[in-house]
A = this chain, B = another copy of it.
């Protein structure tokens, strides 16, 4: 059995090494059009930033090491340019000489990945992606050649763009971040991305939202608003699209999402041809639709599944949750499943919970606040998605939620999770348990909640906002027009409450819940502002309705 693998990074190399371990006698050839295989894609920005100092650390394997350990025939600088499915051959071009040869296969694995999305950055502008070892060699050489402070424009505020920004700033480069959307970190809902936006400003990044790059200009680039910003370097991180040209040319079915369509064994419509990695359409775990997710973990898992299938074992690919994480200037932002805006876009019913717990028991030094958002199906109590942003412990909580989703646990079942507790690691009620309790109270009707973006309309309709925080908290910053009745005085000051629907709020939602319980039990019409003053502040910041530095200082003092 002879297997040819097109592409020698995450998915392709996982398929190759797994296949060898399953079949010592298989003939396995890996063609990689680039000069490197099995390199650390996700580490590239950190090499630019000088966090990873040794370039050789980026190169996890070489053709030689793969030959000696896995008896793989790895050929770099070889591009597969055509597939003849009837003859079961591929045409291979040596990129350095242009010489073409033909190679037969029994099984073919397409793992060519994705390519930069075109049509967004102007054609005349010299940009560089941050996707290959060549890219980082180019960028680091360019920056080393700049006299004085270098400047860069980063286009696109997604994962790669933000990682590029962090590392360029870390290296002392002045950065303008140009984003055509109305928020940074588009995968997040806007109010959850607000802390990232604030942090970018604090670090001196010139963030331009609702903006695109128009043209090259003298000493920099001209933006869509006519301004010119300095740029020794322009990084294109507007995103990627699946590289399906080879597959499409050969008549392999491409899914509606634009990725190669595969079954649960990563098999394409041609049973001799498999596809894995960023070029492939995944199945969304929430609604079973075809989607694109470019994650190394999925590429590895699906590469392995393809190898299993080629070796005659059952394929084990499964739907994708799209769990993802970003580190930026000491903040961690992580998500799983669907965002609220996606749920709204798809017209799918959802319940929202915002919390702001501490990473561990607050009586033990070093606890950091995180902001969490949980999205729940109101009919089934299924978890549809989550977002978390904060300091330590964010990665742990998103992984717990991803595991809960895979295990089919409902939002209320999060209360039952028995998570490890000692005061330096968590709280006796872990933030995940707390999230479950809030969701459970909403599901049971124990509490009625109002979202930050619903507040204005509710007040316009006559509701009165009652801030149940302490007088000192109220004075240090409050929602305009709120009346202040501290929770601990609430039972004694009921007479002060107006005869109107009430919305109570505190700093994060917990005291508001207790206040709502007190008031609803005496027959009042009351809702608790979900996530309290913090979520409201982040929300209005994300709408540009509040001065950012005020929001920032509030967050710091809170």
Instruction: Please report A residues at the B interface, Cβ cutoff 8 Å.
Output: 10, 21-25, 40, 42-43, 46, 51-52, 57-58, 60, 65, 68-71, 163, 295-301, 304, 313, 316, 318, 320-327, 332, 334, 336, 361, 363-365, 395-396, 398-400, 402-404, 406-409, 413, 415-426, 428-430, 433, 437, 444, 446, 487-489, 491, 513-514, 517-518, 521-522
Contact = CB atoms under 8 A, between A and B. Distances in A.
A406 B298 CA distance: 24
B69 A421 contact: no
Nearest to A437: B304
Contacts of A296: 421, 428
B325 A420 contact: yes
A330 B305 CA distance: 38
12 contacts: A21-B517, A40-B423, A42-B423, A52-B364, A52-B365, A324-B421, A325-B425, A398-B420, A399-B420, A403-B403, A403-B417, A407-B409
Given A21-B514, A395-B425, 9 more contacts: A24-B521, A71-B491, A322-B418, A323-B420, A324-B420, A325-B420, A403-B403, A406-B407, A406-B413
Contacts of A297: 418-419, 421, 428-430, 433
A327 B422 contact: yes
B409 A409 contact: no
Contacts of A491: 71
Given A42-B428, A361-B43, A420 B404 contact: no
A226 to B, nearest CB: 36
Contacts of A402: 417-420
A266 to B, nearest CB: 14
A400 B397 CA distance: 9
A444 B363 CA distance: 48
A396 to B, nearest CB: 4
A305 B525 CA distance: 27
A420 B334 contact: yes
Nearest to A54: B363
Contacts of A68: 488-489
A24 to B, nearest CB: 4
Contacts of A332: 425
Contact of A313 (B365, B420, B444): B444
Contacts of A299: 428
Contact of A406 (B313, B418, B425): B418
A488 B69 contact: yes
A58 B363 contact: yes
Contacts of A70: 514
CB-CB nearest 3 A-B residue pairs = A407-B407, A325-B420, A296-B428
Nearest to A71: B491
A125 to B, nearest CB: 28
